[in-house]
A and B are shown apart, each in its own frame.
Chain A
Amino acid sequence: MWHERDGCERFDELISFYLPDSIKTAVRGIKREYLIELEELRIRAGQPLMGVFAGFDRFIGRDGFLSDNPQFGLIVSPKEVDNLFMLLCEHSVYAYQDDISRGFITLKGGHRAGICGTVIYEGNNIRGMKDISSVNIRFSRQIKDCARDVFGHIVRNKQDIYNTLILSPPRCGKTTLLRDLCRMVSSGTGTSFKGLRTAVIDERSELAASYRGVPQNDLGPRTDVLDGCRKSEGIEIMLRGMAPQVIVVDELGATRDPDAIKMAWNAGVRIIATAHAYGLDDFKRRLGIGQLAAKDGFERIILLGMDNGKRWVRVMDAYGNELSGLVKIDRLSDGIRGLYGIRDEAVGKAGRETACLIKTHGDPA
């Protein structure tokens, strides 16, 4: 799906730029109906090549054949993993050493490669990594207009928005939704809402996906991006220097985050943020950041989840009153349903969906 929305060129660019020949051949051999659902490519030294398709793992054979049997997967040699790592670093490890010490490299096109190996310490700080053993390429996907249904709920008036918090378990689409909300807030929607000056603190380079200083994703014409900066420091820098009307941050959680958010609110700046949580109550229990959902805190809460292969979205006010009906978006294509021979119940048992169901609605059993 994402290829069609964002253009195949980003994906093709990734394949031809970075992947070693054997992996390139295997990925190019995957049937298109499955390829469009590819979210991650997991490459481990001495292990079979694996892909994550719409949340499900499958081993990828030499010619692109998919199987749940590891024996059919293309075995990747340690040398190939090393070659891949050097290609990801553009044969210039030193140029990526800060990224490497954080455990990932942002690639051209906004994709991201997580890396594992032997960590090198200098005193108490990680200096780098050597003997790379695993690479996880996570494909970037900007889905424009995916926030259209919820955008109306966060608009206060023509020139203002509500402080908004997006909550969900991992991999339910928080960052994708945040990115699109940022784009819409910055661009405006014609006469009904004028765009606002927006500052993005992109601590993990995921929102803008800046590659050598150039954002790879469209975050709107009034957006300034502070890349690779901690949220607490970034908010202060932006308030001091860029006079934003809205600040966008991903994944609240550090102990210093609440103070920084309050500092922005004191300056009259609106915040749109995300956090890992299974629901509003779960978030409120979090040490430190939980207080941000109290009175005078976030005014709109957007909950995301997955249920039977369908993503759902709920919008609530600060008191937990629902503002929107349950919106379900079908996520699995017919190709993926065919691949797994899925009945709806089976899909529902997939790991993250079950976690999401249990935590948000109670154990379905």
Chain B
Amino acid sequence: MEILLNLKNQICSLGVPLYAAFEEIGTEGTGGLWSEIFLRCSQVMKEQRMDAGSAWKKAISENRGLLPLESSDWDSIDDFGELLGKSDRYNQEAVLDMARESIAVLEKKAEEAVRTKGKLYRNLGALCGAAVVILLI
């Protein structure tokens, strides 16, 4: 979320080209693995004169194994760069707001999963504990 806010500032307020905005975000290094992805994306855009959509997909595919996401989540992440850079500031703002919303949904899903699975593991732990006690008796 913080990265997206930064990107919105770079694009909508400062009018920095995408490759430079990605580089800036990447070098700040506050986003963990995402910083690496933004840096790689910037590099691909600069060196291969690629649009943001293709460069983003390339950077993501190179780091796919390192991110603990489900396949349905990847679809949303893959399309993130598709509309970036293709319109004026006003429309880019709308694109970034949309991206923030879909990431918020992903975040909510992840939190839900943590809660559900956490409960499951807690119950599983208690059951295992009870089984060990029964066995020991």
Contacts and interface: CB of A to CB of B under 8 A. Distances in A.
A91 B51 contact: yes
B contact residues, range: 10 to 19
B38 to A, nearest CB: 15
Interface in B1-27: 11-12, 15-19
A31 interface: no
B49 A97 contact: no
A101 to B, nearest CB: 9
Contact of B49 (A87, A94, A127): A87
A contact residues, range: 10 to 19
A95 B49 contact: no
B52 A94 contact: no
A93 B49 contact: no
Contacts of A326: none
A86 interface: yes
A20 B129 CA distance: 67
A355 to B, nearest CB: 38
B101 interface: no
Contacts, number: 46
A90 B12 CA distance: 16
A118 interface: no
Contacts of A87: 49
Interface string A182-217: 000000000000000000000000000000000000
B117 interface: no
A93 B52 contact: no
B51 A94 contact: no
A73 interface: no
B85 interface: yes
Contacts of B86: 86, 91, 93
Contacts of B12: 94
B87 A86 contact: no
B100 to A, nearest CB: 17
B110 to A, nearest CB: 31
A94 B45 contact: no
A91 B45 contact: yes
Contacts of A93: 85-88
A121 interface: no
Nearest to B19: A90
Contact of A94 (B19, B50, B85): B85
Contacts of A128: 88
Given A127-B88, A128-B88, A95 B16 contact: yes
B32 to A, nearest CB: 25
CB-CB nearest 6 A-B residue pairs: A92-B17, A94-B89, A92-B85, A95-B17, A91-B85, A97-B88
25 contacts: A17-B49, A86-B85, A86-B86, A90-B17, A90-B19, A91-B17, A91-B18, A91-B19, A91-B51, A91-B85, A92-B17, A92-B18, A92-B19, A92-B85, A93-B85, A93-B86, A94-B11, A94-B15, A94-B87, A94-B88, A95-B15, A95-B16, A95-B18, A97-B88, A127-B88
Given A89-B85, A92-B17, A95-B16, 11 more contacts: A86-B85, A87-B49, A91-B18, A91-B51, A92-B16, A92-B18, A92-B19, A93-B87, A94-B89, A94-B91, A94-B92
Interface of A: 17, 86-87, 89-95, 97, 127-128
